[in-house]
Amino acid sequence: MPYDMFDPQKRSEIMSNIRSKNTKGEMIVRKYLHQLGFRFRLHGSKLPGKPDIVLSKYKCVVFVHGCFWHAHQDCKYYRDPKTNQEYWIPKIQRNVERDKKAIYDLTAMGWKVEIVWECELKKDAEGRLNDLVSSIRSV
pTM (whole model) above 0.85: no
For the chain, give every domain's residue range: 21-134
DSSP structural state of residue 52 = S
Task: Please tell me the predicted confidence (pLDDT) of residue 79.
Answer: 81
Q: Length of the chain in residues, anyone?
A: 139
Q: Quick one: average pLDDT of 35-56?
A: 94
CATH architecture of 21-134: 3-Layer(aba) Sandwich (3.40)
**β-bridge partners, 63:** 115
Could you give the CA distance from residue 31 to residue 27 in angstroms, rounded to a whole number? Answer: 6
Give the model's confidence band at 112: pLDDT under 50 very low, under 70 low, under 90 confident, else very high.
Answer: very high
Q: State the Cα–Cα distance between residues 136 and 116, nearest whole angstrom.
A: 12
pLDDT at position 139 is: 63
Rounded to whole angstroms, how far apart are CA atoms 42 and 21?
Answer: 9
36 or 14: which leads in pLDDT: 36
Cα atoms found within 13 Å of the Cα of residue 5, Cβ hemisphere only: 1
Cα–Cα distance for residue pair 61/40, rounded to 1 Å: 9
